[in-house]
Chains A and B, each alone.
Chain A
Amino acid sequence: MSSMLGADVNVAQNVGFYIVAAIMVFGALRVVSGRNVVHAALWLVVVLGGVAAQYVLAAAEFVAISQVMVYIGAVMVLFLFGIMLTRATIGEESDLNNKNWSIGIPVSLLLAGTLVWVIVDQYRGEVLSSPDEPMSTTAISDVFLREGLVPFLALSFVLLAAAVGAIVLARKD
């Protein structure tokens, strides 16, 4: 065991990572394989919450809070509204998949294999040093308001355009 873990590896962090990662992978598989749309949306909440937990483990507190507020708070409510407004049947649906959905299995397995191979080839043995304190919001806002100011303003216009566009598209006229 000690040969597997470098001197810099935090055991508690690793155990937390693997537990959350297992829950996330299981939830993601349920999202793409379930027969019930509402259950898929609720499993997606599990995955997004797991991502937020991984952000906390990676010392990214601000991004974790943003993830919880934006995804679990806002995006999931939008999804549930979208399901409720478009669903014809209640409960399980049999035609959620395409006719030739099984072609997705080799494609995704090939993609996962290639990605894992490349990642392991490049980053094997590289240890992420655990920072003493989480990335401060001050440092993030310094980047946002200096180098990232123009993209930040552009992003606010993107959000404005998306809100106006969504209203125009979904409006009954």
Chain B
Amino acid sequence: MYAVNFLILAAVLFSTGVFGVIARRNAVMVLMSIELILNSVNLNLIAFAMMNNSPEGHVFALYVIAVAAAEVGVGLAMVLMIYRNRRSIALDELSVMRG
């Protein structure tokens, strides 16, 4: 199996996630696009671990999974708070940080 297979798949997923972050207006959709980006990075880490036949890439991927879980928890809590205060989670309407 060629190394470019994994890396190009990860690059395509990354670009798709970046498009989602730019294009989406709904905060939950932006968080989903960020998950796409983080998963593409993980795919790269696993591919490099396979290339070097070392466990460090797996360890980094597990760190990224844990940090992504924490990020989603805090991010969705923030989205819920914003929705409760403003009745909307459209990101382009969030021009003030005050609640």
Contacts and interface: CB of A to CB of B under 8 A. Distances in A.
Interface size class of B (residues with CB under 8 A): 35 or more
B12 A112 contact: yes
Given A98-B92, A144-B59, A51 B39 contact: yes
Interface string B1-38: 11111111101111111111011111111011101100
A111 B14 contact: yes
Chain B contact surface mostly: helix
B11 to A, nearest CB: 4
Interface size class of A (residues with CB under 8 A): 35 or more
B2 to A, nearest CB: 6
For A9, A31, A32, A75, the residue with the greatest tally of chain B CB atoms inside 10 Å of its CB is A32
B59 A67 contact: no
Interface of B: 1-9, 11-20, 22-29, 31-33, 35-36, 39, 42-43, 46-47, 49-51, 53, 55-56, 58-59, 61-63, 65-74, 76-81, 83-84, 87, 89-92
